[in-house]
Each structure stands twice: as C-alpha cells, then as structure tokens.
Amino acid sequence: MEKIAIVGLGQTKYKGSREETFDELVFEAVNLALSDAGAEIGDIDNVVTVSNDFWDGRTISSMAVTEASGAWDKDISTVEGDGIFGTLYGMMRILSGSFNSTLVVAHVKGSEGEMNLITNAMFDPIYQRALGIDATSSAALQARCYMEKTGATEEDFARVSVKNHKNAFGNPYSQLPMEISVEDVMKSRKIAEPLKLFDCSPISDGAAAVILSNKQGLKRFKKDPVWILGVGHCSDSYTLGYRDLTNTRALKNAAQRAFTMASIKDPMKELHVAELYDAYSYMELLWYEGLGLAADGKGFELIRSGATEMTGDLPVNPSGGVLSAHPVLVAGLARLIESTIQIRGEAGKRQVKGASKALAQGINGPCGQAHGIIVLGS
Amino acid sequence: MSSTEIKNIYYEGRIKVPYNWYVGEVGSRFLVNLRDNKEIWGIRCPGCKKVYVPPAKTCWECFIPNEEWVKLSDTGTIMSFTVVHYRTQAMPKRDPIIYGLIKIDGADGSFLHILGDIDPRDLAVGLKVKAVFADARSGTILDIKYFAPVYK
C-alpha cells in the first residue's frame, strides 16, 4: 500500500454542552488541524465529513458543514459512522490517485438531541424499535452475556471506569476526569443492570479533524508525519439476538488485517499505546480479547493485572477513553488523535514514554457490530 | 444593546415523519401468525439449518434464501436480561421495564423482548419463560405482551 500519514490534527474540548453551533465546532477543529499541520485550507485537496442525520436533526447533515470545513470549492463526501471509518474513507480517496491530501472532520452535539431516542432508531423498526431498546439497554444485555460466559464481575467493569476516568486528568480535552474507586462505581446509580452510571459514557459535544497526506503531499505540511502502518475493518450481523454478543469475530478480523499490514505479530508486546472505544466499561474487556491482548474470556484478568494502567506494559486509553468523553462519531477520531499525539511525544502528563506504535479503534452499530482499527507508527 | 446583554436562544424542534413500512413477505407471515393464531413461527436455513426468529428472508452467513417455515414453541430460555431504571418515550408503558434475550425453544440465536410478571430479584439466565399474548392484537411485535416465567 502507498504510505499515508497523519500530518495535522485538531480537536475541541469535549463538554456536556457547548455554546457553539455544530458548524462553529467544525470550523474550530479544522482550523486547529490546519494550524497544527502548518498549512492552509488551500493545501487540502478533498474533504470527508463525518456526521449523522439523527444526531444533527436534519437530513444530509454532512452538507450543512460544507462551509465550516472549508470545502465549498472542493470534492466533499461523507461518512455516516464513526470517525475511524471516515479516516479509512479519507485514505481511500488518496489511494484512488485523485488526491494527495484529505481533511477528515467529525462533529456531534449530543446535548441537542435525546441519546436514548436517537439510538432506539438504529434498531429494526418492525421487530425491535417498539420495545424501546436503545444503546444503553442493549449494551446492558451484552454486559450480562459477557459476565455469564466469562465469570467477569461488575467490579471488573468498575476497574475500567476507575482507570480511564483517572487517566482523563492528564488530557485537557477530556470531559470527565474523576478520581473514583471501584466502590464508587458500584454504588453509582443503576442505569440498566448490570450497568451503573459510572459504567456509562457521558453525552458530549465536540468536533475533531485530522489531515491525511501521501508522500507527494508531504511538502505542503510542516509537521513530522505519523504513518498509518495498518488498517482493517469488519462488520458482524446487525439484528440484536442473531449474533453471539460475546463473540468478537468482527474485531478479530479487523485487527488481524491491520496487524498483518503493520507486520505486528504480538500486539501486547509490540504496541505501546492502545486507544479503545469503551462506550461502556465492560466493552474495554471484550475489546482486549478481540484485539488479542487477552485470550477469549480472559479480558477481565488483564484489567485485574494492571497491565493496561498508565504504568503497565500496554497503557490503554491514556486519554481517558470514551468513558471520559463520548462525542458520538467524533470519538473514534479522538482515539486516532490521541494515538498520534502519543507517537509524536506531545502528550505531556499522560505521555507513554517512547511510544512509537499505537492502535486506535472505532465502532459502529449496536454492541460493537462493526469495528475499524488503525495502527500508527513513527 | 451591547453584546454582553444578549442571552442565547435555543430553538426547540422536532422531526416527526410518518412512515408506512412494508414488513415484507416473511415479516407479514410472522406477524399474521402472532396476531391471528398466537403462534411464533421461525424460518430455517436450508444450508446451516439455523432457525431464525424473528424470521429473516435470507441466512446472512450462508447467504442463501431461507425456505422452510417452522412453528416454534411459545416458550424459551432467558439468555440475558436487564432491568432498566430510566424511561424514554420509545418504551412501552410498563413498570419495571425488563428486556430479555430469549432463546425460543426450537430456534437459534435469541429473540429480543420484554419480560413481565416477575420480581426482578428472581431474574436469572437460564430461566424458562413463556409468551403472554396481548388481548387486542394488531400485527405488531407487541402482540406478544411480554414473556413471563414458567414456574413448575
């Protein structure tokens, strides 16, 4: 594959509610990315926007940010899904031979809609939507399946929340840094059992952007490139109930493709940082298994071992993860941005020393139906 | 008026678009059986023999059409459950709201529905449940009111 690099990045601070409109957030993220890259909008050949019509409350929501993303005279296209998938599409547009650089920008204002109603609408309208199921209640069903299959406990889920909220103190963009104990998580308000308030990610507003370039385009940008070494994505079946919710085969497939491309044989040893999509605490344990960081059914042992703490062999979610800020669609891009920052060595207090290989994950669909994995290196 | 005196305005909107979804040939047959006969029907893949409920026109793994209709039992086993402690406008008016993934006897995979007539403290994976049908049925998934435990 022709090599593609990340040469610029920008993200707004994630908050429960931001006073800016969503196009203002996009404008901010894009300008931060341009300034980070030492570039101007004219250096961008094409734009991929990432948005969702239900979250924005309008159809063709992508087009509403044409101006804010600097795309009015450019080729613009959109991805309705997580920002990792937007990045993949942005790469494809360079690989098509038509462009040397792509700007990928994602936005969401979770504060303006109603998460439970919006995510209820992702379910089948004939058989499931009328039951009122949504992202949180379906995740709760998956969490219990995981406990039943593996023997993981609610305390194990809580350990993920404790770790990630603590990590968030090092990340100025994060929304919810918290010093909490396993007991605090266990005592937090019940949401959908076994999930409690601190097992769930917050509602967030924000935008994020990355600039991708091939070798030919590099001369336009001042920032040292961070290279995309491997990429993979894969989807499982859609209907809740048809698939085994503890089977991570889609993630395994996506990760394997990315690892093969990046020549990674043992991810636990070879990766220095992993930024995972922990929309709910238990997910991080399940994703450990899908990524091969832990054997099937043993993800909870990895969190207990401390290996994924900041001081462990493979820090997971030094940014604080999705539990500490969940701008839907933007969140995968935020994982990619954190991974890039870590490789650049610009992560300040949360810097993982000597990080030169990192992994970012994005998910789409209920209970992690689809996964996108990007491996980065210096 | 100076800009510091301007208070932000929030515009309250709502998207409300009526749809009239055709549920498909397979879906119609399933829902008519719920409505008229209080029966749960699944459909079997000729390749892997998996029985889908709710029925699917094709087996997504074998990627071939499902053909054989199978009358299933109205009983099953709880594979997962969640007691929900919040309410949304999308939920049926019930208290408490408990969702279950139910493996219907004779089918593969699980069927998402609501659990009722049960004290949340008695919930357990592996519990046998039976469909309770609504008195007034209109050909929707809520023609099954909920699944209730079968106590022997």
ipTM of the complex: 0.96
What is the structure's pLDDT at B151? 79
Chain B residues lying within 8 Å of A194, measured CB to CB: 82
The SS3 assignment for B128 reads strand
Query: Is the CB of B88 less than 8 angstroms away from the CB of A132?
Result: yes
Cβ of B84 and A140 within 8 Å? yes
Question: Listing from the earlier edge strand, what are the strands of the sheet with A226-235?
Answer: A75-79, A46-50, A101-109, A205-214, A4-11, A226-235, A370-377, A357-364, A273-275
What's the pLDDT score for residue B1? 56
Of B15, B91, B111, the CB nearest to A132: B91
Cβ atoms < 10 Å from Cβ of B59: 20
Q: Give the C-alpha separation, B131 to B144, whole Å.
A: 6
Which structure tokens are listed for A184?
């605090």
> Which residues of chain A have a CB within 8 Å of the CB of B60?
237, 242
Instruction: Sort out which chain A residues have CB atoms less than 8 A from B51's CB and list them.
Output: none
| Alpha helices, DSSP H, located in A217-329 | 249-261, 267-270, 281-290, 299-305
A20, A55, A109, A127, best to mutate vs chain B, most B CBs in 10 Å: A127
Structural domain count of chain A: 1
Pick the residue from chain B with its C-alpha nearest to A146: B80
Contact indicator for A228, A4 with CB cutoff of 8 Å:
yes
Whether A43 maps to a domain, the answer reads: yes
What percent of chain A has a predicted confidence (pLDDT) above 70?
100
* CA dist., res. A339 & res. A344, Å (int): 9
CA within 13 Å, CB half, A317: 34
A54 is a domain residue? yes
- pLDDT above 60 (res A206): yes
Which contiguous run of DSSP H or E holds residue A371?
strand A370-377
Q: Which residues does chain A have within 8 Å of residue B125's beta carbon, measured at their own beta carbons? A: 144, 148
Confidence class for position B119, pLDDT limits 50, 70, 90: very high
Per-residue pLDDT of B76-102, as tens digits, reads 999 999 999 999 999 998 889 999 999
User: Which of these, A128, A117, A122, lies nearest to B90 by C-alpha position?
Assistant: A117
Q: How far is CA B133 from the centre of its chain?
A: 13
**Residue pLDDT, tens place only, A284-311:** 999 999 999 999 999 999 999 999 999 9
Please give the average per-residue pLDDT across B103-119, as a whole number. Answer: 97
In a domain, B5, yes or no: no
B141 touches chain A (CB under 8 A): yes
* Contact yes or no for B79 and A145 at CB 8 A: yes
CB atoms B80 and A130 under 8 Å: no
* Structural domain containing residue B64: 18-149
Contact criterion met (CB below 8 Å) for A372 and A233: yes
A239 contacts B21? CB cut-off 8 A: no
Which structural domain, as residue segments, surrounds residue A48?
Answer: 4-114+204-220
For residue A27, give the CATH number of its domain.
3.40.47.10
pLDDT (tens digit per residue) in A313-326: 999 999 999 999 99
Chain A partners within 8 Å of B109 (Cβ)? 241-243
Q: How many domains is chain B built from?
A: 1
Pick from B85, B89, B112: which is nearest to A133 by CB? B112
Question: How many residues are present in chain B?
Answer: 152
Determine the Cα–Cα distance for residues A2 and A218; give it in Å rounded to an integer.
13
Q: A189 and B85 in contact by Cβ < 8 A?
A: yes
Nearest chain A residue to B96, by CA: A192
| Contact yes or no for B60/B38 (Cβ under 8 A) | no
Is residue A377 one of the residues assigned to a domain?
Answer: no
Q: List for chain B the helix, strand, coil content (%; round to 5).
A: 15, 35, 50
Mean pLDDT, range A264-280, rounded to an integer: 98
